[in-house]
Structure 1
Amino acid sequence: MLPLVDAIPPIRGVRGRPLQKPKVIYADRGYDSEPHRQRLRERGIKPVLAKRRTEHGSGLGKFRWVVERTQAWLHNFRRLRIRFERRADIHEALLKFG
Protein backbone atom coordinates (compact mmCIF):
# COMPACT_ATOMS: atom_id res chain seq x y z
CA MET A 1 0.00 0.00 0.00
CA LEU A 2 2.76 2.46 0.85
CA PRO A 3 4.47 2.37 -2.57
CA LEU A 4 1.07 3.14 -4.08
CA VAL A 5 0.55 6.08 -1.71
CA ASP A 6 4.06 7.37 -2.41
CA ALA A 7 3.39 7.22 -6.18
CA ILE A 8 0.35 9.54 -5.98
CA PRO A 9 1.12 12.66 -8.02
CA PRO A 10 0.60 16.16 -6.55
CA ILE A 11 -3.09 16.94 -6.16
CA ARG A 12 -4.27 20.09 -7.94
CA GLY A 13 -7.49 21.84 -7.17
CA VAL A 14 -7.82 24.98 -5.14
CA ARG A 15 -5.63 28.00 -5.69
CA GLY A 16 -2.08 27.86 -4.40
CA ARG A 17 0.48 25.12 -4.12
CA PRO A 18 -0.78 21.64 -5.03
CA LEU A 19 -1.06 19.14 -2.20
CA GLN A 20 1.87 16.73 -2.20
CA LYS A 21 -0.16 13.97 -0.56
CA PRO A 22 -3.82 13.25 0.13
CA LYS A 23 -5.30 14.16 3.50
CA VAL A 24 -7.38 10.96 3.72
CA ILE A 25 -6.98 7.44 2.27
CA TYR A 26 -10.00 5.13 1.89
CA ALA A 27 -9.23 1.42 1.52
CA ASP A 28 -10.89 -1.97 1.79
CA ARG A 29 -10.41 -4.75 4.34
CA GLY A 30 -7.30 -6.08 2.66
CA TYR A 31 -5.33 -3.13 4.04
CA ASP A 32 -6.76 -3.20 7.57
CA SER A 33 -3.74 -3.59 9.83
CA GLU A 34 -2.19 -1.48 12.52
CA PRO A 35 1.18 -1.16 10.69
CA HIS A 36 -0.60 0.33 7.67
CA ARG A 37 -2.57 2.72 9.86
CA GLN A 38 0.54 3.78 11.76
CA ARG A 39 2.64 4.40 8.63
CA LEU A 40 -0.13 6.47 7.06
CA ARG A 41 -0.45 8.57 10.24
CA GLU A 42 3.33 9.11 10.23
CA ARG A 43 2.95 10.59 6.74
CA GLY A 44 0.17 12.90 7.96
CA ILE A 45 -2.58 10.96 6.18
CA LYS A 46 -5.80 9.98 7.95
CA PRO A 47 -6.49 6.27 7.25
CA VAL A 48 -10.13 5.27 6.73
CA LEU A 49 -9.85 1.51 6.32
CA ALA A 50 -12.75 -0.95 6.38
CA LYS A 51 -12.53 -3.16 9.46
CA ARG A 52 -11.98 -6.88 9.11
CA ARG A 53 -14.52 -9.25 10.62
CA THR A 54 -17.44 -6.86 10.20
CA GLU A 55 -20.59 -7.33 8.17
CA HIS A 56 -20.63 -6.28 4.54
CA GLY A 57 -22.53 -3.07 4.06
CA SER A 58 -21.18 -1.50 7.22
CA GLY A 59 -18.84 1.44 6.84
CA LEU A 60 -17.16 1.89 3.45
CA GLY A 61 -19.12 -0.92 1.78
CA LYS A 62 -22.30 1.17 1.84
CA PHE A 63 -21.03 3.36 -0.98
CA ARG A 64 -19.37 0.70 -3.13
CA TRP A 65 -22.61 -0.48 -4.74
CA VAL A 66 -23.30 3.04 -6.00
CA VAL A 67 -20.04 3.07 -7.95
CA GLU A 68 -20.51 -0.46 -9.30
CA ARG A 69 -24.12 0.26 -10.30
CA THR A 70 -23.05 3.42 -12.14
CA GLN A 71 -20.31 1.59 -14.03
CA ALA A 72 -22.75 -1.18 -14.99
CA TRP A 73 -25.22 1.45 -16.21
CA LEU A 74 -22.54 3.09 -18.37
CA HIS A 75 -21.63 -0.26 -19.92
CA ASN A 76 -25.24 -0.68 -21.07
CA PHE A 77 -24.50 1.81 -23.83
CA ARG A 78 -23.49 -0.11 -26.94
CA ARG A 79 -20.59 2.20 -27.76
CA LEU A 80 -19.04 1.47 -24.37
CA ARG A 81 -20.09 -2.17 -24.06
CA ILE A 82 -18.52 -3.17 -27.38
CA ARG A 83 -15.16 -1.52 -27.48
CA PHE A 84 -14.69 -0.22 -31.01
CA GLU A 85 -11.78 2.06 -30.15
CA ARG A 86 -8.29 0.67 -30.49
CA ARG A 87 -6.76 3.11 -28.06
CA ALA A 88 -7.48 2.67 -24.36
CA ASP A 89 -7.33 6.41 -23.67
CA ILE A 90 -10.22 7.08 -26.08
CA HIS A 91 -12.34 4.35 -24.48
CA GLU A 92 -11.57 5.75 -21.03
CA ALA A 93 -12.49 9.25 -22.22
CA LEU A 94 -15.86 7.97 -23.44
CA LEU A 95 -16.46 6.35 -20.05
CA LYS A 96 -15.66 9.62 -18.30
CA PHE A 97 -17.78 11.57 -20.75
CA GLY A 98 -20.73 9.23 -20.12
Structure 2
Amino acid sequence: MSAPLDDLARELGRARAAHEKRPDDRRAELWYWRALAAFREAEIADLKARNGHLNLRLRSALGELRRRCRQVETFGEALRASRPRRRAARHAEAADLFQREALQ
Protein backbone atom coordinates (compact mmCIF):
# COMPACT_ATOMS: atom_id res chain seq x y z
CA MET A 1 0.00 0.00 0.00
CA SER A 2 1.09 3.54 -0.64
CA ALA A 3 1.61 6.07 2.13
CA PRO A 4 -1.71 7.93 1.64
CA LEU A 5 -3.53 4.60 1.55
CA ASP A 6 -1.80 3.55 4.78
CA ASP A 7 -2.85 6.80 6.42
CA LEU A 8 -6.45 6.28 5.33
CA ALA A 9 -6.38 2.69 6.60
CA ARG A 10 -5.19 3.91 10.02
CA GLU A 11 -7.91 6.56 10.05
CA LEU A 12 -10.47 3.92 9.16
CA GLY A 13 -9.22 1.70 11.98
CA ARG A 14 -9.55 4.55 14.49
CA ALA A 15 -13.03 5.41 13.21
CA ARG A 16 -14.12 1.77 13.37
CA ALA A 17 -12.84 1.44 16.93
CA ALA A 18 -14.67 4.62 17.98
CA HIS A 19 -17.87 3.45 16.31
CA GLU A 20 -17.68 -0.01 17.93
CA LYS A 21 -16.95 1.58 21.31
CA ARG A 22 -19.97 3.92 21.05
CA PRO A 23 -22.45 2.35 18.58
CA ASP A 24 -25.20 4.85 19.49
CA ASP A 25 -23.00 7.93 18.81
CA ARG A 26 -24.02 9.33 15.40
CA ARG A 27 -20.84 11.38 15.01
CA ALA A 28 -18.69 8.26 15.45
CA GLU A 29 -20.85 6.40 12.96
CA LEU A 30 -20.60 9.25 10.44
CA TRP A 31 -16.83 9.39 10.95
CA TYR A 32 -16.62 5.64 10.30
CA TRP A 33 -18.67 5.78 7.07
CA ARG A 34 -16.75 8.78 5.75
CA ALA A 35 -13.41 7.11 6.53
CA LEU A 36 -14.60 3.92 4.82
CA ALA A 37 -15.69 5.83 1.71
CA ALA A 38 -12.40 7.75 1.54
CA PHE A 39 -10.38 4.54 1.95
CA ARG A 40 -12.36 2.73 -0.77
CA GLU A 41 -11.96 5.65 -3.21
CA ALA A 42 -8.22 5.81 -2.59
CA GLU A 43 -7.94 2.02 -2.91
CA ILE A 44 -9.74 2.10 -6.27
CA ALA A 45 -7.50 4.91 -7.52
CA ASP A 46 -4.40 3.02 -6.37
CA LEU A 47 -5.51 -0.17 -8.09
CA LYS A 48 -6.25 1.72 -11.32
CA ALA A 49 -2.79 3.28 -11.26
CA ARG A 50 -1.13 -0.10 -10.64
CA ASN A 51 -3.19 -1.71 -13.38
CA GLY A 52 -2.17 1.02 -15.84
CA HIS A 53 1.49 0.57 -14.96
CA LEU A 54 1.29 -3.21 -15.32
CA ASN A 55 -0.49 -2.91 -18.68
CA LEU A 56 2.24 -0.57 -19.90
CA ARG A 57 4.96 -3.02 -18.82
CA LEU A 58 3.05 -5.89 -20.42
CA ARG A 59 2.82 -4.06 -23.76
CA SER A 60 6.53 -3.28 -23.57
CA ALA A 61 7.44 -6.90 -22.82
CA LEU A 62 5.17 -8.12 -25.60
CA GLY A 63 6.84 -5.76 -28.07
CA GLU A 64 10.26 -7.01 -27.02
CA LEU A 65 9.13 -10.63 -27.36
CA ARG A 66 7.81 -9.95 -30.85
CA ARG A 67 11.09 -8.27 -31.80
CA ARG A 68 13.07 -11.28 -30.62
CA CYS A 69 10.75 -13.66 -32.47
CA ARG A 70 11.38 -11.72 -35.68
CA GLN A 71 15.12 -12.01 -35.04
CA VAL A 72 14.88 -15.77 -34.56
CA GLU A 73 12.80 -16.12 -37.72
CA THR A 74 15.31 -14.03 -39.68
CA PHE A 75 18.26 -15.98 -38.33
CA GLY A 76 16.50 -19.26 -39.14
CA GLU A 77 16.03 -18.15 -42.74
CA ALA A 78 19.72 -17.27 -42.92
CA LEU A 79 20.70 -20.76 -41.72
CA ARG A 80 18.52 -22.44 -44.33
CA ALA A 81 20.21 -20.46 -47.10
CA SER A 82 22.88 -22.06 -49.28
CA ARG A 83 25.59 -19.95 -47.68
CA PRO A 84 24.25 -19.41 -44.16
CA ARG A 85 27.18 -17.55 -42.68
CA ARG A 86 27.25 -14.87 -45.34
CA ARG A 87 23.48 -14.42 -45.22
CA ALA A 88 23.51 -14.27 -41.43
CA ALA A 89 26.16 -11.54 -41.57
CA ARG A 90 23.91 -9.48 -43.86
CA HIS A 91 20.96 -9.65 -41.43
CA ALA A 92 21.40 -6.99 -38.78
CA GLU A 93 18.60 -8.46 -36.65
CA ALA A 94 20.37 -11.80 -36.48
CA ALA A 95 23.65 -10.16 -35.59
CA ASP A 96 21.91 -8.33 -32.76
CA LEU A 97 20.51 -11.49 -31.18
CA PHE A 98 23.22 -14.03 -32.00
CA GLN A 99 26.23 -11.77 -32.23
CA ARG A 100 29.09 -14.26 -32.47
CA GLU A 101 27.17 -17.21 -33.92
CA ALA A 102 25.83 -15.14 -36.79
CA LEU A 103 29.18 -13.71 -37.79
CA GLN A 104 31.46 -16.75 -37.44
Shorter-normalised TM range: under 0.3
TM-score (norm 1): 0.25
Structure 1 or 2: more helix by fraction: 2
Flag the structure with larger Rg.
2
Which has the larger strand fraction? 1
